[in-house]
Amino acid sequence: MTKARPWLFMGPSLLILGVFVLWPIVQSLWYSLHDWTVGAAEQPWVGLGNYTKLVHDPQFQRALGNTLIITVASTAVLVAVGLGLALALTSENIVSRVIRSAFFFPTVISLTTVGMVWKFLLDPDIGLVGGVSRALGLGAVNWLQSTALALPTVIFVNVWKNAGFVMIVLVAGLKAIPGEYYEAAALDGARRLQLLRYVTLPALRPTMLFVTFIVTIQSLQLFDLVYVMTGGGPLFHTDTLVTKLYRDGFANYETGYAAATSWVLFIVVVLVSVFQLRIFRYNDAD
Amino acid sequence: MKNKRVIAALAGAAATGLLLSGCGGSDGGGGGGPVSLTVWTGFTGGDRPGYEQIVKDFNAAHPDIKVTMTVQPWDTIQQKLPSAWLTGQGPDIAAPSSDPNAIAQYVKTNSVLALTATGAGDDKINTDQFAPALVKEFTYNDKLYAVPANYATLSLYYNKKLIAKPPTTVAELQEDAAKATTGGKYGLVLADNNTIQMWPVLQWLSGGDIVGADNCSTIGTPEGQASLQPWVDLVKNKKISPVGLTGAEADSIFSAGKAAMEINGPWAAPGYKSAGIDLGIAPIPTGTSGQSVTLGSTAPLAVSAKTKHPDQAQQFVAYWTSKTAQLKFSQSTGFPPLRTDLADDAQLKADPTVSVFASQVPNAKLYLPQVPNATKVDSDAYVPLIQKITRDGDVAGGTASANSQINQLTGCSK
Amino acid sequence: MPTKTLKWFYVGIGLILVLVPIVWTVAGSFRTEADLFGHPAGLIPHQWTLHGYRGVWSQLPFLRLLGNSVLFAGITTALTVLFDSMCAYALARLNFRGRDVAFWLVLVTLMVPFQVTLIPVFVELFHLGWLNTYQGLIVPRATSAFGIFLFRQFFMSIPRELDEAARIDGAGHLRIYWRVILPLAKPAIATVALLNFTNLWNDLLWPLVVSSSPDMQTLPAGLALFGGQHVTDHAVLLAGAVISLLPIAVAFFLAQRYFVAGISTSGLK
């Protein structure tokens, strides 16, 4: 009875996650070992064939590289920008509350809408960005069609969408820092920057790790935004692992090959997360 | 309140039950109420009402069959249809995609029914009246697996405010495109991805091609390269079009009056007219060989192998492609008729829009017809090739690598 | 003070970057195509048109789509909050063998991209006979690893003395969860509910995959039809975006007080 209780509490969630996430991911591993096609009468076993094919697939190498660039750059910029905003807007007065809401608003807009709106905004012919830069005599840049600029532009929009989320979580973390820490440091005559460095940031570390963890996972799985804005182009310069597996799986019907890509992605995500959570849980225990 | 509704529902159910038993049959396709058929298509464009009319007319003429068509983006169909058909959950009939050789995949997985109800009359599929290229495109191992849901050719759209007289030869087309590129306007707006294929038409006009009849790439041959070079020069140096456009983007530029010309199909005309463009539609100019050529484009309409009503479903696709339905469809949408017996129809010939598109049917070629892995040849080789050479101008280098990539995909052993 | 000027300069630039696209979107839904192309540098319509909204209204069974969206996002969110908080209670408050394993399994599911499991899940729903049903739409999404994670963090920050006091009064775990922990967890509930509701509301692919019936379509799925292949009608697309955004914006401004306060006091650590 008592032994069963925890499982009663967790039952619904674990059952749903087990049936609709964990078991399907195991099945996709099975697919990845076959030349698996939806609906085909035979699914020939290929062993690790799909994985060796991936290693030699230049599209895969490019997608993996892009995914890592997007993740590292987005996470770094997001945490920096979000921290700056959080520090600037900690106080509970009406002004900072309203401003915080404004920054948070992009978080609730769907990625497809964000992608579509920014695609329009950046369009050299109708977009505000091109219009303004032309009015200033700078000429219009075709952001999403330049092989050099497309990836940074995607990263920018990803930051635009998620900076408010990082900010809110960090504001929460800042508020949880006991006031005594600051009082003690003030008694020692610490200056503002010193306070930041020796009191705020160390106390904020668990929250920073949490938000880094969430943002990293989200960036590694980036799909909708890229799919809507560039479709992975130009010339695969913004192709991510998920846009690639989507193309292989749903446009070319190579389910087994797409499943192999997804397992590589899954392993990358798990490795990165385990690495981050190790640090995270270490602090958790305190 | 609530009770009343429940009673009404029960009464309704009882009445239906009585009617059914009165007819003496349960289901099984024959005796009972009307057979329900579902159809998925991706016709979200200006031609959508034309297809909906076909369904409406069919339902009116066949009280024993009720067809419901769901229109959703091609993307969505592509995501759902393979697994839906696998599990028997999918629609009875669907247009899977408008991509080249889209039906091949479904044939391979035994998802589509071989169509056997061919013959004469409105209730049979009149294969002998279809354009031969279409029948060939949908035939695998001597069995027909789809009918054409439509057949479009491309024409030259031009903005009369920017171009007085449409070009009639490829040389004039190139000249006009360069000349009209001025004052923030583009001479000939070209899309290279997620679009009806425009670049293949340019290549054909200049004497080149992409894949030969032996499934081997012809893009790296001297003719292939020479057919790309002038257009790459025009885009890269004369800026007759922005690079990397999708079809929808190119269309918006033209419909905003910022482009003098565009190569496009009949579905675009209603939108351009309502956008207030002083629109001219002309046949594609003649190519370097003196011959006229354009792209023919079709979407397959196929029946699920798991449908419970194969006969009714075939009856429906037969009606869709029938002379009656197609005449009405062409008149309302401007699409050329997909049947040869309508080619000389007086009513269609008198229609200024239909006649331009219809007049080019004899010159139309399909894009990558029956080429193995056609979707990949397009997405992994051809689209990247155009995107690359319009940016860096290296036609020789780009075509060489595209050439070997295509051969690998098509299994050409040359 | 220079730091203060710097601070407001930074916040000001950020505000412009955030607000201008939103204003542009709303304004753009009232602009004609000619206006958009003619005045790309403009933010406010030169000539107003309702063409976009008329297009959406005339081509969509709007109320039906709205109803389905509210039903799907609403019920699923309610279930998610319940299941997630229960699961998190066990993870945060009960000591039992396998707790760490369970927690890790939950975390692992956070790392699975949705596209990866799409086909297997579809086949499962088929075997369950759940395709084209509301339970098929709702049940698989009725829990979220992120929610469990957030609740767990929150519950761990609630002093254990409170449970013990209740236990001395003879309360069991179910009672402690329902009477002590949940009432204290309102901020976390608001946070999980809002984040889940927006995710579900915005979800396009899932409703499309589960139901092929037009009667069960949700708002984003219906609006996606306007991203048609051939001619882009910007006003209609932007009007669709504004319409789908509106309920979320209302929910957000109603909930944001609890939400911002919530996530603040939750002390995520």
CATH of the domain at A223: 1.10.3720.10
Q: Is A121 exposed, middle or buried (0-12, 13-18, 19+ CB in 10 A)?
A: buried
Q: Give B414 or C146, the one with higher predicted confidence.
A: C146
- Looking at the domain assignment, is residue C15 inside a domain? no
What is the C-alpha to C-alpha distance for residues B376 and C40, in angstroms, rounded to an integer? 37
**Percentage of residues of chain A with pLDDT beyond 70:** 95
Number of structural domains, chain A?
A: 1
Mean pLDDT along residues A245-253 = 81
Q: Does B79 touch chain C (CB under 8 A)?
A: yes
Nearest-Cα residue of chain C relative to residue A255: C119
The three-class DSSP label of residue C122 is helix
Fold of B155-283+371-410: D-Maltodextrin-Binding Protein; domain 2 (3.40.190)
| Cβ(C134)–Cβ(C68) below 8 Å | no
First to last CA, chain A: 32
**Candidates A85, A105, A246; nearest CB to C14:** A85
* Type and span of the H or E element at C260: helix C234-265
∠ CA A110-A112-A118, nearest 5°, is 105
**Percentage of residues of chain C with pLDDT beyond 90:** 18
Mean pLDDT along residues B240-264 = 91
* Residue B82 pLDDT: 82
* Residue B134 pLDDT: 87
* Residue A39 pLDDT: 65
| Cβ(A175)–Cβ(C265) below 8 Å | yes
Closest CA to B264 of B278, B280, B251, B277: B251
* Residue A197 pLDDT: 82
Q: Which of B314-318, B335-339, B401-405 has the lowest mean pLDDT?
A: B335-339
The class that CATH gives domain B30-152+297-365 is alpha beta
Nearest-Cα residue of chain A relative to residue B88: A39
Task: Say yes or no for a CB contact (<8 Å) between C106 and A22.
Answer: no
Q: Give C161 or B208, the one with higher predicted confidence.
A: B208
Residues of chain B with Cβ-Cβ distance to C205 below 8 Å are 79
Residue tagged 């209740």 (tokens): C166
Other residues' Cβ atoms within 10 Å of the Cβ of residue B5 = 9
Q: Are strands B259-264 and B364-366 parallel, antiparallel or unpaired?
A: unpaired
Q: How far is C211 from chain A (nearest CA, A)?
A: 17
Are domains B30-152+297-365 and B155-283+371-410 of this chain identical in fold? yes
* Residue B4 pLDDT: 38
Pair of tokens at residue C158: 């609630």
- Looking at the domain assignment, is residue A278 inside a domain? yes
- Looking at the domain assignment, is residue C36 inside a domain? no
Q: Are strands B294-303 and B93-94 parallel, antiparallel or unpaired?
A: antiparallel
> Looking at this protein, which amino acid is placed at residue A270?
V
What is the C-alpha to C-alpha distance for residues B384 and B392, in angstroms, rounded to an integer? 12
Mutate to test the interface with C, among B80, B254, B263, B272 (most CBs of C within 10 A): B80
* Residue C34 pLDDT: 80
CA atoms within 13 A on the CB side of B370: 14
Nearest-Cα residue of chain B relative to residue A251: B78
Q: How confident is the model at residue C230 (pLDDT cuts 50, 70, 90)?
A: very low
* Residue C269 pLDDT: 39
Pair of tokens at residue C67: 């109803």
Mean pLDDT along residues A76-92 = 92
What is the C-alpha to C-alpha distance for residues B80 and B237, in angstroms, rounded to an integer? 43
The three-class DSSP label of residue B199 is helix
Q: Give A219 or A249, the one with higher predicted confidence.
A: A219
Mean pLDDT along residues C101-108 = 88
∠ CA B148-B149-B151, nearest 5°, is 70
Mean confidence (pLDDT) of chain C: 83
* DSSP code, position B302: E
Task: Say yes or no for a CB contact (<8 Å) between C140 and A20.
Answer: yes
Q: How far is C222 from chain B (nearest CA, A)?
A: 9
Bridge partner list, B364: B294
Kindly give, in sequence order, each residue whose CB lies less than 8 Å from that of residue C104, ignoring residues fewer than 6 positions away: none
pLDDT in tens, A154-180: 999 999 999 999 998 888 888 878 778
Pair of tokens at residue C197: 């509701």
Which range, A21-30, A165-174, A199-208, A249-258, has the best average confidence (pLDDT)?
Answer: A21-30
**Candidates A6, A28, A108; nearest CB to C252:** A108
* Residue B53 pLDDT: 95
* DSSP code, position B337: P
Q: Which of A270-279, B160-169, B184-193 has the lowest mean pLDDT?
A: A270-279
Q: How far is A31 from chain C (nearest CA, A)?
A: 10
* Residue A69 pLDDT: 97
Mean pLDDT along residues B14-21 = 32
- Looking at the domain assignment, is residue A6 inside a domain? no
Closest CA to B372 of B381, B383, B364: B381
Task: Say yes or no for a CB contact (<8 Å) between C105 and A22.
Answer: yes
> With 80 as the cut, is the pLDDT of residue C222 above it?
no
First to last CA, chain B: 77
Closest CA to C186 of C164, C161, C154, C156: C154
- Looking at the domain assignment, is residue C52 inside a domain? no
Pair of tokens at residue B121: 């009359």
**Candidates A171, A266, A283; nearest CB to C116:** A266
> With 90 as the cut, is the pLDDT of residue B259 above it?
yes
Q: Which of A86-90, A115-119, C64-68, C258-262 has the lowest mean pLDDT?
A: C258-262
| Cβ(B231)–Cβ(B158) below 8 Å | no
> Where in chain B are the domains?
30-152+297-365, 155-283+371-410
- Looking at the domain assignment, is residue A29 inside a domain? no
> With 80 as the cut, is the pLDDT of residue B414 above it?
no
* Residue C218 pLDDT: 84
Helix and strand numbers, DSSP H then E, in chain B: 17, 14
Q: How far is B19 from chain C (nearest CA, A)?
A: 26
Q: Does A207 touch chain C (CB under 8 A)?
A: yes
* Residue C267 pLDDT: 45
Query: Positive or negative, the Cα torsion across A281, A282, A283, A286?
Result: positive
CATH of the domain at C194: 1.10.3720.10
Residues of chain B with Cβ-Cβ distance to C37 below 8 Å are 256-258
pLDDT in tens, B267-317: 888 888 888 899 999 999 999 999 999 999 999 999 999 999 999 999 999
> Looking at this protein, which amino acid is placed at residue C1?
M
Q: How confident is the model at residue A125 (pLDDT cuts 50, 70, 90)?
A: confident
Task: Say yes or no for a CB contact (<8 Å) between A253 and B243.
Answer: no
Mutate to test the interface with A, among B193, B241, B254 (most CBs of A within 10 A): B193
Bridge partner list, B93: B39, B303
Q: How far is A227 from chain B (nearest CA, A)?
A: 11
∠ CA B173-B178-B183, nearest 5°, is 130
Nearest-Cα residue of chain A relative to residue C156: A284
pLDDT in tens, C114-135: 878 887 888 788 888 888 888 9
**Percentage of residues of chain B with pLDDT beyond 90:** 59
* Residue B9 pLDDT: 38
> Looking at this protein, which amino acid is placed at residue A260?
A
Task: Say yes or no for a CB contact (<8 Å) between A14 and C87.
Answer: yes
| Cβ(B410)–Cβ(B216) below 8 Å | yes
Query: Positive or negative, the Cα torsion across C211, C217, C219, C221?
Result: positive
Q: How far is A233 from chain C (nearest CA, A)?
A: 18
Residues of chain A with Cβ-Cβ distance to B258 below 8 Å are 125
| Cβ(B244)–Cβ(B191) below 8 Å | no
Q: Does B249 touch chain C (CB under 8 A)?
A: yes
* Residue B349 pLDDT: 87
**Strand boundaries in chain C, DSSP class E:** none
* Residue C268 pLDDT: 47
* Residue C36 pLDDT: 82
**Strand boundaries in B124-268, DSSP class E:** 139-140, 143-144, 147-153, 155-159, 186-189, 191-193, 245-246, 259-264
- How many Cβ pairs within 8 Å bridge chains B and C? 87
Q: Which of B362-366, C139-143, C185-189 has the lowest mean pLDDT?
A: C185-189
| Cβ(B39)–Cβ(B92) below 8 Å | yes
Residue B52 — left, alpha, or beta (φ > 0 → left; ψ -120 to 50 → alpha)?
alpha
What is the C-alpha to C-alpha distance for residues B59 and B68, in angstroms, rounded to an integer? 9
Residue tagged 């309409």 (tokens): B301
**Candidates C118, C119, C212; nearest CB to B70:** C212
- HEC profile for chain A? CCCCHHHHHHHHHHHHHHHHHHHHHHHHHHHHCECCCCCCCCCCECCCHHHHHHHCCHHHHHHHHHHHHHHHHHHHHHHHHHHHHHHHCCCCCHHHHHHHHHHHHHHHCCHHHHHHHHHHHHCCCCCHHHHHHHHCCCCCCCHHHCCCCHHHHHHHHHHHHHHHHHHHHHHHHHHCCCHHHHHHHHHCCCCHHHHHHHHHHHHHHHHHHHHHHHHHHHHHCCCHHHHHHCCCCCCCCCCCHHHHHHHHHHHCCCHHHHHHHHHHHHHHHHHHHHHHHHHHHHHHCC
What is the C-alpha to C-alpha distance for residues C66 and C59, in angstroms, rounded to an integer? 14
Query: Positive or negative, the Cα torsion across C142, C145, C146, C150?
Result: positive
* Residue B105 pLDDT: 83
- Looking at the domain assignment, is residue A280 inside a domain? yes
- Looking at the domain assignment, is residue C48 inside a domain? no
> With 80 as the cut, is the pLDDT of residue A283 above it?
no
- How many Cβ pairs within 8 Å bridge chains A and C? 243
Query: Positive or negative, the Cα torsion across A10, A15, A20, A26?
Result: positive
First to last CA, chain C: 33
What is the C-alpha to C-alpha distance for residues C120 and C111, in angstroms, rounded to an integer? 17
**Candidates C119, C214, C224; nearest CB to B83:** C119
**Strand boundaries in B145-277, DSSP class E:** 147-153, 155-159, 186-189, 191-193, 245-246, 259-264
Residue tagged 């629609």 (tokens): B91
Task: Say yes or no for a CB contact (<8 Å) between C143 and A108.
Answer: no
* Residue C57 pLDDT: 82
Q: Does A120 touch chain B (CB under 8 A)?
A: no
b or e along B377-407 (b: 16 or more beta carbons within 10 Å of the residue's beta carbon)? Answer: bbbbbbbbbbbbbbbeeebeebbeebbebbb
Q: How confident is the model at residue B18 (pLDDT cuts 50, 70, 90)?
A: very low
Q: How confident is the model at residue B14 (pLDDT cuts 50, 70, 90)?
A: very low
Domain extent for A266: 49-284
- HEC profile for C4-72? HHHHHHHHHHHHHHHHHHHHHHHHHCCECHHHHHHCCCCCCCCCECCHHHHHHHHHCCHHHHHHHHHHH
* Residue B13 pLDDT: 35
What is the C-alpha to C-alpha distance for residues B76 and A37, in angstroms, rounded to an integer? 18
> With 50 as the cut, is the pLDDT of residue B187 above it?
yes
Mean pLDDT along residues B104-120 = 89
What is the C-alpha to C-alpha distance for residues B36 and C110, in angstroms, rounded to an integer? 42
> With 50 as the cut, is the pLDDT of residue B131 above it?
yes
- Looking at the domain assignment, is residue A16 inside a domain? no
Question: Hey, which residues 78-97 in chain A have their CB within 8 Å of chain C?
Answer: 81, 84-85, 88-89, 97
Task: Say yes or no for a CB contact (<8 Å) between A176 and C268.
Answer: yes
* Residue C229 pLDDT: 46
- Looking at the domain assignment, is residue A36 inside a domain? no
* Residue A280 pLDDT: 64
Mean pLDDT along residues B354-381 = 90
Domain extent for C196: 73-216+254-265
Task: Say yes or no for a CB contact (<8 Å) between A265 and C116.
Answer: yes
Q: How far is C76 from chain A (nearest CA, A)?
A: 13
Number of structural domains, chain C?
A: 1
> With 70 as the cut, is the pLDDT of residue B102 above it?
yes
**Percentage of residues of chain B with pLDDT beyond 70:** 92
Q: How confident is the model at residue B16 (pLDDT cuts 50, 70, 90)?
A: very low
**Candidates C126, C132, C225; nearest CB to B71:** C225
pLDDT in tens, B194-233: 889 999 999 999 999 999 989 999 999 999 999 999 999 9
**Candidates A39, A235, A252; nearest CB to B376:** A252
Question: Hey, which residues 249-268 in chain A have their CB within 8 Å of chain C?
Answer: 249, 255, 259, 262, 265-266
